[in-house]
Amino acid sequence: MTVSADDVRRLLDSHDERAVLVAIEGRVDVASPAELDTADYRGALQIATRQEVLERAGGAQLSERELAEQAEELDTALRNLGA
């Protein structure tokens, strides 16, 4: 399981400002805080919030290179968490 530029794009494109990038059952997904309280996301590992990525990246309009860089950083963080 790896974090891709598409995963970062989905997070930034989310209509929910509180969206979270999570690792669940061998995949990376974008979930709302409400979804995290459901059985489908029980045990999900939070990788980063939309706000955290926006702050780190300096905005929502990222180039493909910037998306890839953010994905690489998040993927490293995920591996460091043991996922």
Rounded to whole angstroms, the maximal C-alpha distance in the chain is: 35
Angstrom distance (rounded) from CA 78 to CA 83: 6
The predicted model gives 9-37 an average pLDDT of 94
Residue, of 11 and 62, whose pLDDT is higher: 11
- For residue 50, pLDDT over 90 is answered with yes
Task: Say which residues have a Cβ less than 8 Å from residue 67's Cβ, sequence separation at least 6.
Answer: 5, 8, 9
The predicted model gives 43-53 an average pLDDT of 93
Residue, of 69 and 58, whose pLDDT is higher: 69
The predicted model gives 52-63 an average pLDDT of 84
Angstrom distance (rounded) from CA 35 to CA 53: 19
- For residue 71, pLDDT over 90 is answered with yes
Task: Say which residues have a Cβ less than 8 Å from residue 57's Cβ, sequence separation at least 6.
Answer: 66, 70
